[in-house]
Structure 1
Amino acid sequence: MEVILGAGPLGRAVMKELLRRGKKVRMVNSSGRANVPDGVEVMQADLMSEGGALTALKGAKNVFQCAQPPYHKWDGLFQKLMSNITKAAAHHKTNLIMGDNLYMYGEVIGSIHEGLAYEASTRKGKVRAEVARELLDLHRKGTVRVTIGRGADFFGPQVENSYVGSRFFTPVAAGKSISLLGNPDALHTFTYIDDFGRALVTLSEHEDAFGQVWHVPNAETVSARRFAELAYEVAGHSPRIGTMGRGMLRLGGLFIPAAKEVIEMLYQFEQPFIVDSRKFVQRFGEEAGPTPLRTALTETVAYYRERAKK
């Protein structure tokens, strides 16, 4: 049994890949409801309790951790969530595959690779660093077998709340205007959600992947402006691109907690944010590499076009 914690876009991408490989899948979320293919078990569990996590992981060979607390409530809740999950994984002797991001590195000059120190000064970056250190320490102690796959800002079908989620692709697909954060001409790596899900499944199937951090494969890095231009191009529309700075985010943060939380992470969009994922491709081969950017954008725009018809 393969267990996925969280039924959001990453959890669903993992589910899709596991089913493609003929695996039996259980999805776990707080509601016990999810629109999934026939044969996929959906379980309700409160992962913020030790008992809920123990129940969710029962019978699992691998558990894919794709769940997280609300974005503006990470500090404290994320650590508790991970403590419950790791205790349950240790109890059931389950492999833990962590879907992670890149906040723990902080502001980086040059490419972002797995050998960097965790030097985040932001609150959310410090939380991610604390969680990653604890996971790798538990692996070293032999408490839980852990591997960590890290992606950048992700996009793709069913991705709603990412920087390049529905607020980006819904207007692009309709030929309407968008606003980009920070410096739109700074290079920025984006991760296609299906590549992220496939990479986590690949990690779960290789013994030597455990005890290590891996940056999942990404297509070529382009500027946010170029990313948007390509999205408009595959949608068949002329680009209509504006910008949004700190002032507008602060104003939005008065009404939307998540907007306020974005401000401390804005450095990622004000300077080059280039992710190095060569380690993954060198180990697992070119066939494990990323979906070409234009292909990924075409699939994403098609999804949002179909959604708009409903």
Structure 2
Amino acid sequence: MDNSSNKTALVLGASGGIGGEVARQLRDAGWTVKALKRGQAAGHEMRDGIHWLRGDALNAIDVAGASQGCSVIVHAVNPPGYRDWDRLVLPMLDNAIAAAQARQATLVLPGTVYNFGPDAFPLLREESPQRPVTRKGGIRVEMEARLRAASERGMRVLIVRAGDFFGPRAGNNWFSQGLIKPGKPVTAISNPAAPGVGHQWAYLPDVARTMVELLAKRDQLPAFASFHMAGHWDATGRQMAEAIQRVAARHGRKPRIAALPWWLLKLASPFVTTLKEMQEMRYLWQRPVRMDNTRLLEVLGHEPHTPLIDAVETALRGLGCLPSQPSRNMGSSSFAGTTP
């Protein structure tokens, strides 16, 4: 069956950060978008141009039913607050794979750097060895292994790996959980990076736009296609914090930048799952890890890229950290990232 002209997609995790961005951008690109939501009223509800269906990604029947008529399934669902990753992540993926195989649909996975270990640093390419040093990294490796096996059975897979997410909607990311406090004016900025250590960031709307553009070319891609995004490379480990500081200054704030108190995270991690998971990822802030987007540029000819100062302004406003009205002084900045 040729699904290349079918523009109906199921987004699992559309209530979250990356899932929500992908759902909205698929909608804006003319796709019919379905989304599963636990607690949704029976039947379906059309909201913001998206068909919301009652269902749970852990329920294979729910996923199979929602995927009917879809040529694409976006698997962007994760347990909230990093809880029960080892128990829930793989069963949810298996349900998505089964549905994609039944519909002959392309399965899309937002990837991370977690599945790479220090032996692959500092420059990550799609074919870099995947020997992670964390539990969550091991789960990510297994996820991709199951997707590759499914692709060998005829299913199409698209993986887009990017750095730490940030954007206008709160989620499980370092920007909203580590650097600032959502819903409050920026009075202080916690910087997790070791002095002088670069870090890879990815603006959620840019990641979503990249996925949508790659999906438009999915019939030209290999059955198992993976791409890295360059995103925003913070060469000094302070550029993101300085960009937040500059945006806050436009609105009358002068927040200071201080080192993240890792000792406090370690102390509290036995009692708070999110802090435990953040502590586990500390190694990514202690050495530079950069992503090579050569393959992406070869296919798309460009990488969707919002200047850093504009992305940070939008993210802070969306997270409730700035006044609702945009600043009159929206200009470009020397902090703007580049796409090599």
TM-score by length of 1: 0.90
Q: Distance in 1 between matches of 2:29 and 2:191?
A: 37
Q: What's 1:186 paired with?
A: 197
Q: What's 1:223 paired with?
A: 236
Q: What's 1:146 paired with?
A: 157
Matching residue's letter, 2:213: T
Matching residue's letter, 2:105: T
Is 2:144 the counterpart of 1:162?
Answer: no
SS, match of residue 97 in structure 2: helix
Q: Distance in 1 between matches of 2:136 and 2:256?
A: 32
Structure 2 residue corresponding to 1:123, chosen from 129, 135, 139: 135
Q: Which residues in structure 2 correspond to 1:21-100 (within 5 Å)?
A: 21-32=29-40, 37-70=47-80, 71-100=82-111
Aligned residues of 2:170 and 2:319 also touching (Cα < 8 A): no
Aligned residues of 1:172 and 1:178 also touching (Cα < 8 A): no
Is 2:279 the counterpart of 1:263?
Answer: yes
Matching residue's letter, 2:150: L
Judging changes above 3 Å, is the alpha-carbon distance between structure 1 residues 201 and 52 closer, same or farther for their aligned structure 2 residues? same
Stretch of structure 1 that moved more, 185-194 or 159-168: 159-168
Structure 2 residue corresponding to 1:177, chosen from 165, 185, 188: 188
Matching residue's letter, 2:247: V
Q: How many residues align?
A: 308
| Residue-by-residue CA offset, 1:19-74 (whole Å, 9 max, x unaligned) | 22122111223233899853311112122122122112122111111101241311
Q: What's 1:5 paired with?
A: 12
Matching residue's letter, 1:67: V
> How big is the shift at 1:117?
0.9
Structure 2 residue corresponding to 1:14, chosen from 9, 15, 22: 22
| Residue-by-residue CA offset, 1:239-269 (whole Å, 9 max, x unaligned) | 4112235421121213311101222211001
Q: State the identity %.
A: 25
Matching residue's letter, 1:96: L
More helix by share: 1
Aligned residues of 1:184 and 1:224 also touching (Cα < 8 A): yes
> How big is the shift at 1:89?
1.1
Aligned residues of 1:186 and 1:271 also touching (Cα < 8 A): yes
SS, match of residue 232 in structure 2: coil
Judging changes above 3 Å, is the alpha-carbon distance between structure 1 residues 278 and 294 closer, same or farther for their aligned structure 2 residues? farther
Q: Distance in 2 between matches of 1:217 and 1:195?
A: 11
Structure 2: stretches of 5+ with no match in the other structure? 1-7, 325-340
> How big is the shift at 1:203?
2.0
Q: Distance in 2 between matches of 1:171 and 1:146?
A: 34
Q: What's 1:235 paired with?
A: 248
Q: Distance in 1 between matches of 2:320 and 2:260?
A: 25
Judging changes above 3 Å, is the alpha-carbon distance between structure 1 residues 239 and 276 closer, same or farther for their aligned structure 2 residues? farther
Aligned residues of 1:171 and 1:178 also touching (Cα < 8 A): no
SS, match of residue 241 in structure 1: strand
Q: What's 2:327 paired with?
A: none
Stretch of structure 1 that moved more, 168-177 or 98-107: 168-177
Q: Distance in 1 between matches of 2:215 and 2:94?
A: 21
Q: Distance in 1 between matches of 2:17 and 2:237?
A: 21
Matching residue's letter, 2:168: P
Q: CA RMSD in A?
A: 2.5
Q: What's 1:299 paired with?
A: 314
Judging changes above 3 Å, is the alpha-carbon distance between structure 1 residues 31 and 19 closer, same or farther for their aligned structure 2 residues? same
> How big is the shift at 1:151?
1.6
SS, match of residue 164 in structure 1: helix
Q: Distance in 2 between matches of 1:274 and 1:172?
A: 30
| Residue-by-residue CA offset, 1:60-100 (whole Å, 9 max, x unaligned) | 11111110124131113211111111011111222111112
SS, match of residue 238 in structure 2: helix
Matching residue's letter, 1:274: R
Judging changes above 3 Å, is the alpha-carbon distance between structure 1 residues 306 and 19 closer, same or farther for their aligned structure 2 residues? farther
> How big is the shift at 1:190?
0.3
Q: What's 2:301 paired with?
A: 285
Matching residue's letter, 1:198: R
Q: Distance in 2 between matches of 1:101 and 1:160?
A: 15
